[in-house]
Structure 1
């Protein structure tokens, strides 16, 4: 398993990260380089194919924090700790010939500065600290003004900042300033932490699939064909489901009362998503038994959630008298009916792929086949990667072209891992 780490930071720091992981075959760094820290939020929207986010700076993490918490995204921040303060003081004294007195410093948490000051017995030194982690709203102007006012009042001789943009603006004002450098050990620890979290998420892999199958209007069937014939049909249905369970690595149970229960994970999920249009199980039951059935599949991150969603999917089958199969995902969105072809204008889609998304003929035809196969149901970039048998990065580039050309649109999310980041779902918009 190769872990894809989305790294948000300046070019120089991302180069250091790449250098550290170049000999590690289980990691791939996906760089998201910004010139303005606020761009982090926008860049995050294009990182949906990655396993975890790594923020190589305090400021980008603060800008992204609300989105991280809201969507429960797996994220790691390079530590801005006492070791970083200590090495910054060393550089200030030895490289910039600046005494550790009459200086101002901005940090995420002033506690780190206080600990270093106490450790070095520097209580008599004049050090002004701005802790922007305490601010309700992050404002670069306030940080710049803090340093500038101290300089104008003659209270400081030098500024030490943790933010590149603050360094640039203070230097433009003629104020002696340098930006802290992140120690290599902090970078290495952040990568190892990101790797550990991503592996843990994958180990909990786990989207569970539950399914219920029943003969439609079973009581009426008993009245018309008798108890014996009805029980024979149940037995034959059970045999068909056992064969399906063997094929999809899922368990088949019976709870009596004309209802069978299926449980599985990725095996049954892959089968379902590969047969939206021509659901073979439904076809085989109808062909072999000449009866109508209801099939409801539920997806969930726990067995209980999957079971509850399967019950909702089964209820959706009551809308018609014919055989039906529906899926309810972990967000309780109903997909289906499966096995019923959803038509779309292939000529119009082909024209959009060629002229709007700038795909070549082969890719365009393949994408149309992909949409047909999935019966025009929502798909993720991961689905494209599997269908085309390409890398996730290649699939991500294709998705970007399709989005840029307004050929597809975002219609939702799926969460295949309990602790992982949701994947965006797309659907054609032409």
Structure 2
């Protein structure tokens, strides 16, 4: 049929069975399966698959990356990202087999994602990530890190999102569980694949520009320290080049410590896992000498994308170190990228009444739009000063100052206290009634 979209699906047997059930709800798709538990042997067949399909879907990032390293895709290619929901089953099986386990190594999913699920099921385990920068790590490196943690008795088991890694760990005698995607994960990925062939086709080829700036903390005058900084900068520049290669993009050095990359929106969205992952930022996590600011701009033309990238860079520099923000073609902002659910907000506020009320508190239009986006997304109007500081990218002191001005202007109220432990002062909880009322009026 002319309306049919032929989708090539590359997956191990277990996941392919799940996909076969879910894809029945997508009548537009005609699936062609390449089922293999040993993907390296199947790579040669994937090229043939691209010649007779309209879009490709891989069961996971490792399979997608391996194929991409060997084949230049002639059709849109997607993979099924693992979410925290897939962890529950794997953790249940692991804890049933090894009830005394107290330390686990994990790849594909972050330490925060695993720890959050563990806290929800009241399990206290040490989670050691082996995959800080997946774009830069090989499969063998991840296997070796799992093995080292196990042999030094820091962990007693492993969680992995890769069938091949799971098989290798079994061969090494390391207890592990393979985390597989849920039906919901598969549905979301099939929807993305469908959109990439239709309405999103133009957006996938949209120009994306990014500006990356290396920022050095002022006041470091020691010659030895300066030498160390230069070594660090050399390493960061190399990682920036590798990141641009992962984006299949073009990289330009604007200045010694600033770079511009150009890629397409479809590739950027896949590599950033839907604007939630920026491996470059993790490279300088905890560094007190250097930090990165990254701004990414979308646009219907190169000029717009470049202007938006500059706006996004200014947002990143305004809201702290090691941040990445995105300004889209409609000038809406997404960020920070490393959040599990980045905020989406406008760069400006056009309502004069709301602006007038906010100006009384010293709250800028950017802070106001970020709070509006947070409240609209969470449907929660109560926050502590610590939460406000994290949302707005401020110090606790600055957040307290804004909150006091909001109280004096009668825009917010103290509605309670939050006691976190037996020690320490309780935190006051503030209700942002004026934003809630404005959003209710706007429907």
Instruction: Give the TM-score band, short-chain normalised.
Output: 0.3 to 0.5
Q: Which has the higher contact order (CA 8 A, sep 6+)?
A: 1
